[in-house]
Structure 1
Amino acid sequence: MRPGCRPGSQDQLWSTRLWAFGSPREVRAFTLRSWRVVRASGGKTMLFKHRRLLEDLRKNGRKATAEVLSVTTLGVASRGRSSPDEDLTRTWYDCRMVLRVIPEDRAEPPFEATVLTRIHTLKTSGSHVPVWYDPADHAKLAVDYEADAERIMKGLVELKRLDGLLDRSSHRTEQRLGVAWTPVDDVLVPIEAASHAGDGRVQVTDWPVEAVHQAAHEAVRFVRANAATLLPPRDGGWDAWFAGRDFRIFQPQGPVPATEGAVDASNIGIGVALAVISGLTGRMVRSEVSVAGVLASSGELLPVASLKDSASVARAGFAQRLVVSVGNQHQLEQVPAKLKQDRLFEIVFAGSLQDVIRLSLTKKVVKGFQAPS
C-alpha cells in the first residue's frame, strides 16, 4: 500500500488509485465499505463529497476523458415524478468505477484510477465519461456527472431530430399519398387520411380531443361539398362516392402530442383537407411543406393563434415552407429575424384552400396511382 494512504478513510472511499487495492480481499472490503456508506447516509454523504471535489477540480484541476474498465452499481434512486426521455437528471446511480484516464495533454501519459461516484446513466465497460483530476495527485479525481448527462441529453434531442428528417425523406422516396404535415403543440406531426368502404363517416383515432375530431369532420365535409372544384372529374360524381366511404384520420408516426388547447387542436383542419385531397388526386404533399390553420365550414382559412410558434415548430421539424392563412400576415413581425432570414425556410400566406393546394401538392400524379372507383 502506498505510504500516506489511509486505509478505510473517507478520502480513500471517494477517490483512490487502482494500485491501492493490493488483493481481491481489499477490493471486496472497499466495495463493502462503500456500500455501507451509501446505505447508511442514503447517498447524501457521497453526493456532497463528490460534488465538493468536482467543484474544486473544475477550478484548479484538469479535464480529461476516461474509459470505463469496470463498474459496480451500489444503488439507484430518483426524485419527483417521471420526466420526459430527454431529462435524465431525475435518476442517479451510485457506483464504483475503475477508469483509464486519458488526459487532454497528450504529453501526459494515461493512468488508471478507481472512484466512488454518482452518475445519471448506467455505464458499461468500454463506455466513456468526462472527468476532472489533480495533475499533482491522481488520487483526486471526480466524474463530471452533470456534463455527462448534458452530453447524452443533447444526443437524444439530435437523434429525435434525425428521426424526423429520416421520416420526411422516406415520405419523398416512398411517394406516400394522403399524408400532410402540420405543427401541433410543439411538434411537427404527420396527419394521414385513409378511406375504406362504409357509409360516409369520419373516424379520428389516437387523438382523444374533441376539437381535433370537430376539425377533421369539418375538413372532410368541406372537401366533399366542394369536390367538383377541388377534385378531378369522376363518372357518377363524387357525392355518391363519399356517401359509400368512411375516412380514418390518424397520425402514422411518433407519439401523439398532448394537444391540451382547443385552438392548437383545430389548427389541423387545413392539414386534414390537404391529406384527403392528396389521397384522392394521386398528388403528394411535397415533403418540404407544412401547413397550419383552421378550415371553417364556409371554406375560409382562419389564422393560427401564434405564427411565431407554428413557424418555429415547422423549422425545427425540417420543413422548408410553412403555408398559413393571410390572416396571419400581421404577426410576421413577431417571427424571429433569424427565422425570417433563413434561406432554407419560407412562410407563405394563402387566401383559399385552392391556394394551399397549389403551394403544397406536387404537380404530377404519382406513378401507378389508380383513381377511386
Structure 2
Amino acid sequence: MTVERLLPTPEARDLIELTREIADKELATRVEEHERNETYPEGLFATLAAAGLLGLPYPEEYGGGGQPYEVYLQVLEELAIRWAAVAVAVSVHGLSCHPLAAFGTEEQKERWLPRMLSGEMIGGYSLSEPQAGSDAAALACKAERVENGYRITGTKAWITHGGKADYYALFARTGEGSRGVSCFLAPGHVDGLMFGKPEQKMGLHAIPTTTAHWDGAIIEADRLIGREGQGLPIAFSALDGGRLGIAAVATGLAQAALDTAVAYAKERTAFGKRIADHQGLGFLLADMAAAVESARATYLDAARRRDAGLQYSRQASVAKLVATDAAMKVTTDAVQVLGGYGYTRDFPVERYMREAKITQIFEGTNQIQRLVISRALTK
C-alpha cells in the first residue's frame, strides 16, 4: 500500500516520488538476495548518493539537500519499507555528518562536509564500546596528544558499516570523567586500524556491524571536532536526530509488515470467506494499522519541533520508544496473520520480525528512552 503523505512543499512531494521509484527499482528487487546470502549491496549507496538522498537534512551551501527533518525522515521510512538495513545505514550516515556540520570549524566543513553530504564519502558512527553501550561516559578508548596529532588506542564496538565506511565519527577519551571524551572525524583506513569479523546478527544481514581495534593509529590534530572534552555533548546532540531516524525506519518496517499481512488476509479464505472478513483477524489488522499511524505521527511531531527550532530531545525519545515498540508488535502480529506461512522464509514477515528487534536496542535501548523521558518530566 502506498502511504498517503502530508508534505509541506511540491519539492518534497517530488522527492518522495523519486525515493519510491529508486527504492522499488534498486532496493525491493535486491533485498531478499542480499539479506538471505548476507552479502553487501555493492554500488547501491553510490546510486542513492547520485540521487541526492544521503545529505538531505543538511545545508545546500555544503552540498546537502536543505530539506526539513520531517521530509528527510519520511524518505528514510520509504527506504525502510523496502529494505530496513539500507535505511538504517542511511540514517547512520546522516548521524555521522552531524558532529562536523554542527560543531566543526568553517575550514573543517569546507574540507570534508561536501564530500560527506554528496555521498562521495560514506560515514559510520563509533561511540559504543564492548563495556560501554548505554553508559557512554564509561568509554575507555584513548586519544593521546602526540607531536603529529592524536594516537588512538582501544576497541570500539557495534559499528554500522564497520570496515566499509570512509570515515567515522569517533569518540575517544582525552581526559578523565564525563568531560574527558572528545570527538574526531577519523579516517576509515589508517595504519593501526583493524576491524573484527562482522557480527552474526539476527537481522540486517546485508550491512556489516563490526568492532574496530585501534592499535596506536595516528590521526591528524585537525580531525578533532569541537573542543577537547566536548565529545559527550556532541554525541548526545547527534543521537537526538539519530533516534528520530530509527523511529522512521521502524515505522517503515511496521508498514511493510502491515502491507504484507493485509494483502495475505484479502487473498486467503477460511470457513467460506476471506480471513480479513473474520472479525477477530480484522480487529488485529486494525490495531496494527493504528500502531503504524501512531508511530508515524509521533516521529513527525518531534521532527516538526526540531524544524521549528524547539527543544525536542524528550519527543525524540518518545518517538523512538513508541515507533520501535510498535514495529516489534506489528511484525509479530503479521507473522500471526500469515500463520504457518509467516514462520517460513517464503514470506518476508519473519525477516521483518527479526529486524524489528534491534530497533528497540540501538541508538539507546528503550529502557534508556524511558529514563530520558522520565527525567525530562521531573526536572
Determine which structure has greater relative contact order: mean sequence separation of CA pairs < 8 Å that are 6+ residues apart, divided by chain length: 2
Shorter-chain TM-score above 0.5: no
If you compute each CA radius of gyration, which structure gives the higher value, 1 or 2? 1
Of Structure 1 and Structure 2, the greater helix share is in: 2
State the TM-score, normalized to the length of structure 1.
Answer: 0.25
